């Protein structure tokens, strides 16, 4: 069977099964690619492909493991209680203010360029508010994910760095013309937050909690015996130091998370029994997220190892008629939505983007324009079950992945459309060569 067709069928089968909840993502990520790998005639080579995929995602899995443990431990100590208390006093029980604040806070925290860290910090601060006021948590994951998708376009973010590397371009030069589109995307999300806020106001009516409510500190920390109010300044300094080192890139993120977690444990819970108790308290979250990461490694390993990704890329480029050649930039922007959803960023930017750029060059479209256009699909990309941080997001908030995908898909597409239109107007990439 044609490899491209097989690849499309594999992705379609996988997405259908998890979105209809016929199979859990963990099982589907392992079983579906294995079956299609056999159909591709690669039964003998599936083992090495799986191992290669797992190896590629292993650093991410380690990072998420210790990130969950570290920030969960910081939450247990009560570090974020004062922040949440201040936020409660600022929002005055108004869901619209909470939703707008979600976009603003996420945009600021996302400047570190790491989605997983962004989710952990913002959810630690915001989830207690959503629970306190019984707000729809789908609004939270929707706004966090789409905001992160926009802010991920910074030069130190993964997608821009990949696009620049694949086409040998300067990341800063690539990034600057994207700023108007990013601003427009954030403005759209603020408007979406206002829309969600009005719906929540109507639902809550007079039952909303007023500004006179007090905050006990228990909305964040679920384990009163684990709180360490006397160490709050040390813990705050530890988090700031971690984020600073993260931005500087002095050590790999996974190593930084491991060291930070170890220091937090030694200082806050010097007793071995207390340390075991804290680890056990969050073992469920850790297992749920990390197991999905390694399962995703099997999916990406087989998708790339069998040659399906390359065949899919060439098949799509091959169906673009010559008359559409001068419009390769907007075509690339449109293609970035489904392709960064169905395949990994690495596969898209290092496998498909050079092909698109070469096709555009034949019609006089600059590689910078193609590269910028290829970044427009990032808000949709983060909905993909192949994105590790997505599992972390839904796990921490307690939302089912399929529910999140169904709810957020349309807003994410609209954000991409807004950024694309403004990008064309601002000539980040031309509508026609």
For 58-91, write each residue's pLDDT tens digit: 887 787 788 778 877 887 888 877 776 676 677 7
Q: Tell me which residue of 365, 276, 267 sits closest to 324, measured CA to CA.
A: 365
3-class state of residue 306 by DSSP: coil
Domains identified in the chain, total number: 1
Q: How far apart are CA 431 and CA 332, in angstroms?
A: 11
2 band by pLDDT with thresholds 50, 70 and 90: confident
Highest mean pLDDT among 209-223, 351-365, 414-428: 414-428
What's the mean pLDDT when you consider all of the chain?
83
For 26-40, how does the pLDDT look when each residue is reduced to its tens digit (9 = 90+)? 888 899 999 999 998
> Is the separation of the CB atoms in 385 and 33 below 8 Å?
no
pLDDT, residue 211, reads 43
pLDDT, residue 207, reads 45
In this prediction, residues 334-362 reach a mean pLDDT of 81
Q: How far apart are CA 246 and CA 161, in angstroms?
A: 16
pLDDT, residue 260, reads 92
Higher pLDDT, 327 or 416: 416
1 band by pLDDT with thresholds 50, 70 and 90: low
Domain hosting residue 107, numbered range: 1-204+229-424
* The pTM of the whole model exceeds 0.75: no
Q: 133 in a domain, yes or no?
A: yes
For 327-342, how does the pLDDT look when each residue is reduced to its tens digit (9 = 90+)? 888 999 999 998 888 8
Q: How far apart are CA 54 and CA 399, in angstroms?
A: 26
In this prediction, residues 284-296 reach a mean pLDDT of 79
Q: Which residue has the tokens 């005055």?
A: 92
Instruction: Answer yes or no: is pLDDT of 317 > 90.
Output: no
Q: 431 in a domain, yes or no?
A: no
Q: 430 in a domain, yes or no?
A: no
Structure tokens at 425: 């107007």
In this prediction, residues 254-269 reach a mean pLDDT of 91
> Is the separation of the CB atoms in 118 and 68 below 8 Å?
no
Q: What does R_g of the chain's alpha carbons equal in angstroms?
A: 22
For 160-185, how does the pLDDT look when each residue is reduced to its tens digit (9 = 90+)? 878 887 787 877 788 888 989 999 99
DSSP assignments along 318-361, one per residue: HTS-GGGGGGHHHHHHHHHHHHHHHS-HHHIIIIIHHHHHHHHH
Q: 180 in a domain, yes or no?
A: yes
What percentage of residues in the chain have a pLDDT greater than 70? 91
Q: 319 in a domain, yes or no?
A: yes
In this prediction, residues 384-407 reach a mean pLDDT of 87
Q: How far apart are CA 127 and CA 101, in angstroms?
A: 12
3-class state of residue 312 by DSSP: helix
> Is the separation of the CB atoms in 115 and 352 below 8 Å?
no
Q: 210 in a domain, yes or no?
A: no
Instruction: Answer yes or no: is pLDDT of 149 > 90.
Output: yes
Q: 218 in a domain, yes or no?
A: no
Instruction: Answer yes or no: is pLDDT of 113 > 70.
Output: no
Angle of helix 253-268 relative to helix 232-248, nearest 10 degrees, comes to 170
Q: How far apart are CA 347 and CA 49, in angstroms?
A: 15
pLDDT, residue 185, reads 96
pLDDT, residue 206, reads 47
Q: 223 in a domain, yes or no?
A: no
Q: Rounded to 10 degrees, what is the CA torsion of 285, 107, 192, 178? A: -120
């Amino acid at each position: 069977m044609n490899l491209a067709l097989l690849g499309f069928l594999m992705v379609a089968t996988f997405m259908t099964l998890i979105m209809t909840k016929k199979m859990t993502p963990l099982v589907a990520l392992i079983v579906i690619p294995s079956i299609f790998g056999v159909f591709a005639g690669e039964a003998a080579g599936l083992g090495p492909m799986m191992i290669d995929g797992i190896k590629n995602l292993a650093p991410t899995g380690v990072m998420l493991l210790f990130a969950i443990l570290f920030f969960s431990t910081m939450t247990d100590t009560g570090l974020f209680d004062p922040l949440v208390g201040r936020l409660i006093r600022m929002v005055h029980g108004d869901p619209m203010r909470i939703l707008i604040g979600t976009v603003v806070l996420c945009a600021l925290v996302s400047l570190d360029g790491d989605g997983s860290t962004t989710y952990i910090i913002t959810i630690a601060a915001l989830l207690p508010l959503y629970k306190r006021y019984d707000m729809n948590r789908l609004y939270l994951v929707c706004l966090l994910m789409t905001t992160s998708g926009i802010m991920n376009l910074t030069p130190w973010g993964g997608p821009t760095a990949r696009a620049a590397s694949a086409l040998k371009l300067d990341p800063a030069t690539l990034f600057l013309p994207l700023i108007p589109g990013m601003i427009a995307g954030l403005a759209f999300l603020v408007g979406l937050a206002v829309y969600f806020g009005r719906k929540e106001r109507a639902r809550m009516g007079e039952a909303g909690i007023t500004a006179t409510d007090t905050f006990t500190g228990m909305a964040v920390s679920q384990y009163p015996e684990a709180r360490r109010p006397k160490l709050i300044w040390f813990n705050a300094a530890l988090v700031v130091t971690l984020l600073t080192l993260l931005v500087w890139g002095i050590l790999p993120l996974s190593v930084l998370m491991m060291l930070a977690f170890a220091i937090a444990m030694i200082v806050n819970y010097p007793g071995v029994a207390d340390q075991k108790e804290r680890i056990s308290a969050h073992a469920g979250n850790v297992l749920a997220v990390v197991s999905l990461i390694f399962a995703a490694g099997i999916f990406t390993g087989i998708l790339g190892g069998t040659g399906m990704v390359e065949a899919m890329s060439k098949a799509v480029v091959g169906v673009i008629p010559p008359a559409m050649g001068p419009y390769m930039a907007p075509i690339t922007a449109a293609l970035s939505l489904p392709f960064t959803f169905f395949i990994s960023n690495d596969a898209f930017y290092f496998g498909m983007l050079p092909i698109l750029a070469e096709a555009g060059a034949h019609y006089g479209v600059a590689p910078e324009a193609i590269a910028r256009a290829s970044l427009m699909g990032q808000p949709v990309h983060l909905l993909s079950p192949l994105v590790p941080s997505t599992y972390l997001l839904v796990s921490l908030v307690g939302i089912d992945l399929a529910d999140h995908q169904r709810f957020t898909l349309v807003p994410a597409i609209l954000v991409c459309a807004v950024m694309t239109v403004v990008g064309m107007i601002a000539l980040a990439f031309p509508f026609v060569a």
